[in-house]
Structure 1
Amino acid sequence: MRLALTPETGAESPGAQTASLFQEPSLSPHEKKIYKVLKADEAMHLDEIIEKLELELSSSEIFAAMFELELAGKVKQRPGKNFVRSFSLTCF
């Protein structure tokens, strides 16, 4: 997949698949499970997230996925290891 701002080379067809700069990146299966548990309007402590997902994911998988979600800007950490979903307003 190529970014829309990358110039097209002669070897590629004009219909080659391009990624939009504004397209949401896909989440891993672990990240999706965590993202579904979190709310945008209510902080949840990390221990509570682990408790809710303990039958599906190990704590190390949750820590790794939380880190990736935070780096991607999908979740925000609040004081005291509390997490909330991030949200962005899109105007079209």
Structure 2
Amino acid sequence: MTHRLPIAAALLLALAGPSAAVAGPAPLAAQGCVGCHGPEGRGAGAVPALAGRDAAELQALLNAFRSGDRPATIMTRIVPGYSEEELAAVAAHFAGLR
């Protein structure tokens, strides 16, 4: 009986279709952000909040960290480890949190 739950979860994911695959990476990729940016990216001390900010703004900031146009102590080391798709998913994830 305990084997049915994972099978049911897999079936639900399969039935969810392609949109679930696009949304899937965001929570996993976003986990790296909450260590500094606080739970759900709501900010922590001097570290700015990400939750509820515009997705295009967040993606532009991430790209600026990646290119070195926006200097930072940590972000310029972290962002290059993510693909463009992961960065877009992270930006969309935090933009969707209100």
**TM-score bucket of the superposed structures, by smaller chain:** 0.3 to 0.5
Between structures 1 and 2, the one with greater strand share: 1
Answer with 1 or 2: which has the greater Rg. 1
Between structures 1 and 2, the one with greater helix share: 2
